[in-house]
Amino acid sequence: MNSTLAAKIAAKQFVVTGELTPPKGTDLSKLYAAAELLRGSLDAINITESPRARMAMDPRAVGKLLQDRGIEVIVQVTSRDRNRIAVQSDLLGAAALGLKNFVFMGGDSPAGGDHPDAKPVFDLTASGLLAAAEALRNGKDFAGNALHGTPDLFLGATANPGAKNFEAEVENTRRKIDAGAKLLQTQAIYHVDQLKRFVDAVKPDGVAMLAGIIPLKSEKSGPWLNANLPGVVVPDDLLQAMEQAAKDGRTREQGIDLAARVIRELKGVAQGVHIMAIGGEAEVPAILGAAGIR
């Protein structure tokens, strides 16, 4: 299955991605059901790699199974658990299975996960992972040795426009672009001005910036995001709107409306959006419809 995501990005189309987390176990029924809810609404679905350092099924296996069902996937790759040898080996194996799209990141420390005694690796930074993957794309391993067969890879990374140290985040994002990233998925954005400032500073010419969206599900969602996700700021007007919706018994409708409003505002700045529904996959088609995307 050839990637259409890369072609859509090259054609400057507005693209929409989402994400799903593999199970802790072998029962994929819930993941398959969620993927079906998203089919037709998204251009590709990220498959996360043990997020928050909580062990789950390998994303490459899940990605292959979804791809066999006709769903384009983006496999997340972290440096938390593997050194550069293992990462390159995994990428070659994934390419042999027909997987093409990858997003690279450092990953969360095992100390905060469900195996706190696990030894962290972090051999490479996210930029290093990208550089290793870019070397493979060009027919060599990260040590400069020639490959017997070159993988077809489309490379992406993450960015946090609301990071506390803005200048350092801009520099880090530029390093990712210089290392080969053609796609950047951001942390959740609720202010279009926040994204404009970041784009103006990074100048991601030729690189697709997909603004992260976490739809608010209840009046508690916004305060929780503000307290727990670094760089995320849900503004007061959205918090107040969800509080009023809770009193009126219409948090679902308000959450959809607010997410759609944010997407409409971001359309002129980003080349797409990355929707992190976190269990709310059933609402994604309605959000995109209200935003005029699908």
- pLDDT tens for 212-249 read 999 999 999 999 999 999 999 999 999 999 999 999 99
What does the domain layout of the chain look like in residue ranges?
Answer: 5-217+270-280
pLDDT of residue 294: 76
Average per-residue pLDDT for the chain: 96
- Percent with pLDDT over 70 in the chain: 99
SS3 at position 274: strand
Tokens of 119: 């030894």
Q: What is the mean pLDDT of residues 131-160?
A: 98
pLDDT digits (tens, 9 = 90+) for 64-93: 999 999 999 999 999 999 999 999 999 999
Helix (H, G, I), strand (E, B) or coil at 77: strand
Span 5-217+270-280: which CATH code?
3.20.20.220
Give the amino acid at 270. Answer: A
At residue 205, the pLDDT reads: 86
Q: How far apart are CA 48 and CA 103, in angstroms?
A: 9
Q: What is the pLDDT of residue 1?
A: 44
Residue 62 burial by Cβ neighbours in a 10 Å radius (0-12, 13-18, 19+): buried
pLDDT digits (tens, 9 = 90+) for 242-290: 999 999 999 999 999 999 999 999 998 999 999 999 999 999 999 999 9
Q: What is the mean pLDDT of residues 60-65?
A: 98
In one-letter notation, the amino acid at residue 291 is A
Distance between CA atoms of residues 55 and 139, nearest Å: 32
- Residues 22-39 pLDDT 10s: 999 999 999 999 999 999
Quote the distance between the C-alpha of residue 39 and its chain's center: 17
In three-state form (DSSP H/G/I as H, E/B as E, the rest C), the secondary structure along 99-161 is: CCEEEEECCCCHHHCCCCCCCCCCCCCHHHHHHHHHHHHCCECCCCCECCCCCCCEEEEEECC
3-class DSSP state for residue 230?
Answer: coil
Q: Look at residue 3 in the predicted model and tell me its pLDDT.
A: 60
* 291 contacts 263 by C-beta, under 8 angstroms: yes
